[in-house]
């Protein structure tokens, strides 16, 4: 079984704006199922597309199965079967040999910036970037699947 161990942080807007950034990539995500115990997501980027199935989060860990799919099929699945969706730009930032994924949300989630780091174990230590603010790991409203149905601008 695949596992995802991930911690999530709000991003300080002013510090992020002052940070030199790598090239961003546009993401379109749609959810075929959003349930507290499982989600089924389709993700389309400029270069690759994925079908992802995630289980219930326990702490910072959950089951995750991800499969690359053809772009044409991803777009059809998004258009025909997604019950909710969101868009964002993703920046991949390497810090102290760790990958941080910083999501700048668009549309109804505009104004929200989140950073995630994937770990090999829950108690793994890592350096926190200066632009990382409050930790929101395990706060349900910050899951992308929840942002797709109850967007940031409606809070």
Q: What is the CATH number of the domain that holds 126?
A: 2.40.320.10
What's the average model confidence in pLDDT over 114-143? Answer: 96
Report the candidate in 34, 42, 52 with the shortest Cα–Cα distance to residue 78: 42
Report the candidate in 34, 35, 70, 24 with the shortest Cα–Cα distance to residue 50: 70
What's the average model confidence in pLDDT over 82-97? Answer: 97
Report the domain count for the chain.
1
Give the chain as a 3 state SS string: CCEEEEEEEEECHHHHHCCCCCCEEEEEEEEEEEECCEEEEEEEECCCEEEEEEECCECCEEEEEEEEECHHHHHHHHHHHCCEEEEEEEEEEEECCEEEEEEEECHHHCCCEEEEEECCCCCCCCCCCCCEEEECCCCHHHCHHHHCCCCHHHC
Which pair of tokens denotes residue 54?
Answer: 């995630």
Rg from Cα positions in the chain:
15
Provide the residue range defining the domain that includes 14. Answer: 3-154
Residues that are catalytic: 31
What's the average model confidence in pLDDT over 111-116? Answer: 98
pLDDT confidence of residue 58:
87
pLDDT band at 7 (very low <50, low <70, confident <90, very high): very high
Residue 1 has pLDDT above 70, yes or no: no
Percent of the chain predicted with pLDDT > 90:
94
Say how many residues make up the chain: 155
| Model pTM score | 0.95
Pairing of strands 84-95, 98-105: antiparallel
What's the average model confidence in pLDDT over 64-68? Answer: 97
pLDDT confidence of residue 36:
86
pLDDT confidence of residue 41:
98
């Amino acid at each position: 079984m695949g596992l995802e161990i991930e911690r999530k942080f709000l991003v300080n807007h002013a510090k992020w704006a002052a940070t030199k950034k790598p090239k961003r990539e546009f993401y379109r995500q749609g959810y075929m199922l959003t349930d507290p115990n499982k989600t089924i997501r389709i993700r389309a980027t400029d270069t690759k597309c994925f079908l992802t199935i995630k289980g219930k989060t326990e702490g910072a860990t959950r089951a995750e199965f991800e499969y690359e799919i053809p772009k044409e099929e991803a777009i059809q699945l998004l258009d025909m079967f997604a019950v909710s969706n969101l868009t964002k730009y993703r920046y991949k930032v390497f810090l102290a040999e760790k990958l941080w994924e910083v999501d700048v949300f668009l549309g109804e989630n505009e104004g929200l910036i989140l950073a995630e780091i994937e770990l090999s174990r829950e108690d793994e230590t890592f350096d926190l970037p200066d632009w990382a603010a409050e930790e929101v790991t395990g706060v349900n409203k910050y899951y992308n699947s929840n942002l797709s149905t109850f967007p940031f601008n409606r809070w």
